[in-house]
C-alpha cells in the first residue's frame, strides 16, 4: 500500500488505485475541530458563508481566555 495524503488526513491507497483528490465536507454551518499534537494544538474550522468567521474566532478567543483563567486558579 502506498500512502497518499492531503493537509488533514492520510489515506491508504491500494495497488492500481490513484488518489486524485480528497476534501472534508459537512452539512453543518460550523465545524470546529481541535487537533492535539501532544505538546501543542491547533484548530481547524469549516465555516459556512452564513456565519462570520471573525465572530467564531472571537468566541474561541474568549473561551480559551476563560479556560486559561480556570486552569491558573485550579
Going by C-alpha positions, the residue among 57, 35, 31 that lies closest to residue 45 is: 31
Residues paired with residue 32 on neighbouring β-strands, in sequence order:
45
pLDDT at site 13: 66
pLDDT at site 7: 47
* pTM, 2 dp: 0.55
pLDDT in tens, 24-46: 778 888 888 999 999 998 988 88
DSSP string, 20-73: -------SSSEEEEEEE-SS-EEEEEEE-TTS-HHHHHHHHHHHHHHHHHHHHH
Amino acid at each position: 500500500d502506498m500512502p497518499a495524503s492531503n493537509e488533514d488526513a492520510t489515506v491508504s491507497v491500494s495497488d492500481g488505485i490513484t488518489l486524485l483528490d480528497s476534501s472534508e465536507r459537512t452539512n453543518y454551518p460550523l465545524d470546529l475541530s481541535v487537533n492535539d499534537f501532544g505538546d501543542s494544538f491547533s484548530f481547524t474550522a469549516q465555516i459556512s458563508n452564513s456565519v462570520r468567521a471573525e465572530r467564531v474566532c472571537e468566541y474561541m478567543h474568549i473561551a480559551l481566555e476563560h479556560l486559561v483563567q480556570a486552569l491558573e486558579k485550579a
